[in-house]
Amino acid sequence: MPPVTQPATPRSSLLESITCPADLRKLDPGQLPALADELRHFLIDSVSRTGGHLSSNLGTVELTVALHYVFNTPEDRIVWDVGHQTYAHKILTGRREAMAGLRQYHGISGFPRRCESDYDTFGTAHSSTSISAALGMSEAARLRGEDRRAIAVIGDGAMSAGMAFEALNNAGDIRDTNLLVILNDNEMSISPPVGALNKHLSRLLSGRIYNGARKIGKRFLENLPPPVFELAKRTEEHVKGMVMPGTLFEEFGFNYIGPIDGHDLESLLPTLQNLRTLKGPQFLHVITRKGQGYKLAEADPILYHGVSKFDHTAGITPSSGKGGGKLTYTQVFGDWLCDMAKQDKQLVAITPAMREGSGMVRFAHEYPSRFYDVGIAEQHALTFGAGMACEGFKPVVAIYSTFLQRAYDQLIHDIALQNLPVLLAIDRAGLVGADGATHHGAFDLSYMLCVPNLTIFCPADENECRQMLFTAYHHAGPTAVRYPRGSGLGITPNKEMQALPIGKGELRRQGKGIALLAFGSMLAPALKVGEALDATVANMRFAKPIDRDLVLQLADEHQLLVSLEENALPGGVGGEVARILQEAGKTTRLLCLGLPDRFIDHGDQSQLMTEIGLDPAAIQARIAEIYPGNS
């Protein structure tokens, strides 16, 4: 494909005149398409310099412009779901210059944050929460007697989660709430006939004349016998359902409008203006295209979904990627999954909308009948796997640490309580970098250690990850293998797979005085500290069961034990080491190091590790504070 050149944003531009939505609302409607073009060009240039989410943001440019133009933000509340589609929103709400530091250390977030702007009404880095939050805001306004609107902009992927339907069900039961739900549907395309028809229908169905007649007719029909009223209601629903897919949302109690072209401001503006005047729960269905306006992203929206820095003229090339030639843990998992599936036909792979992110593209291609992407439905993913395990299959659920939090009840009741052999391949454990506090895998050890029957593996390198996945797969009960984001240490995994002894760690360095107990990713910095202090280093390998014999052996032979984990300290493995020492009556001093009891912001992973005191120099300094003899 030839290079695609995007024109630079003009030096004297409409965009530069916008410092807040109030400035936007001073423009003539005829100027908005030009503003949208400038905004799209700015996005392409800006994100190519910083990295971030690109395709989804290019798809919401016109919708963002229209929403801030029609609604009185921030008095009217907009909740974006998922929040990675809000870059245009950030630019129009006073953060255009701050985009140069997007997702960087001490820069602005890639998601909405209440502490960042009054226009960021709700934090939405996880999905499917917008309708619930916006409904709460709408009801708060009603109870206070305030005339303001709450708008939930939810992506079609986020609509697959049960929470979104729970909120729709509740909202439809509150008939006088001023809630507008906008479904940003970017999986469809509008052909010209359908687009023209629905543009007309959307204006008609959102207009005052139609809605006034509808209300009068409803009041009249309510006085008729119930069978007649029900027939009239069903007739209206089916007539609308013949030309648009809104019957489901009408059943929830919403007035459904759409679908309309989400890139056509001439259609968006009057429809939103009409909807702003209507009372009760409204549902607007807009069709957008990921990557809109940038041909490379339109052709491959998945590749351009989350990008690192790249040349937007040439597009993303193999050299644009990360890793420096080293395998990522995600690649190690993806390769193991295919190798294991070749050996065992009972293996099935499940993911909640993370096929690419979890490294399952190859598996989905080679074993399509055994691959299940269940959408953004983490709870269902785990229980679905539990059901397959009941029937003799061997489910492998690939899930990010931060998203596993959403399925905690299913982990306990549906998998662990029944002692089912479901393997959780937990990606992005520990700090993840630019996505920040909402995506750090900071809590999985803490919330999994208390779950009976669960075995937790902590690989320290690529080969250990492959062997642990193999070991976990053949274990009779539920297992979890947690591994970090990004590249490993550069160790080539052995093709041959061998089971490791469960619950047994290993000594990696023999020293004196101090013993470092490293869990997973903390082995590499522990070895550096061990060399500097001539300390013993143990690769603990398992968070549950912890190698109790090794802990007690090290306690007998050393004056200080240091536990190291890339997990929150409260409830983490350091506490388990302390419990083992206490139960055995050992008085050996223990220093527990891990993630602090606070939410950690976004930034480069190495910067964050230095900030929280988990880089080798900081670990050594902490040890020197209580054991100065080895400093």
- Residues with catalytic roles: 290, 378, 406
**Residue keyed to tokens 């409803």:** 218
- Say how many C-beta atoms besides its own lie within 10 A of residue 486's C-beta: 18
Which amino acid is located at 64 in the chain? Answer: T
The pair phi, psi for residue 383, each rounded to 5°, is -70, -35
- Say how many C-beta atoms besides its own lie within 10 A of residue 227's C-beta: 8
Tokens representing 521? Answer: 């990713």
Which amino acid is located at 549 in the chain? Answer: D
Q: Which of 333, 305, 306, 308 is nearest to 319 (CA)?
A: 308
Cross-sheet strand order for the sheet of 179-185: 77-81, 150-155, 179-185, 282-287, 255-261
Residues 6+ apart with CB under 8 A from 142: 176, 177, 178
Element (H, E) at 287: strand 282-287
271-276: long-range pairs with CB below 8 Å, 24+: 271/202, 271/203, 271/206, 272/66, 272/67, 272/70, 272/71, 273/70, 274/203, 274/206, 274/207, 274/208, 275/180, 275/206, 276/70, 276/71, 276/149, 276/180
Give dist(CA 351, CA 360) in Å, integer: 9
Q: Which of 290, 281, 289 is nearest to 246 (CA)?
A: 281
Q: Which of 60, 62, 58, 73 is nearest to 23 (CA)?
A: 73
Give dist(CA 395, CA 548) in Å, integer: 30
**Residue keyed to tokens 């550096």:** 528
Chain centroid to CA 175: how far? 32
List, in sequence order, every residue forming a beta bridge with 287; answer none if it has no partner. Answer: 185, 261
Give dist(CA 54, CA 6) in Å, integer: 14
DSSP character for 83? G
Helix (H, G, I), strand (E, B) or coil at 150: strand
Element (H, E) at 537: strand 536-539
DSSP letter string, 399-457 = EEHHHHGGGHHIIIIIIITTT---EEEEES-B--STTGGGT-B-SHHHHHTTSTT-EEE
DSSP letter string, 249-286 = HHHTT-EEEEEEETT-HHHHHHHHHHHHH--S-EEEEE
Q: First and final CA of the chain: distance in angstroms?
A: 58
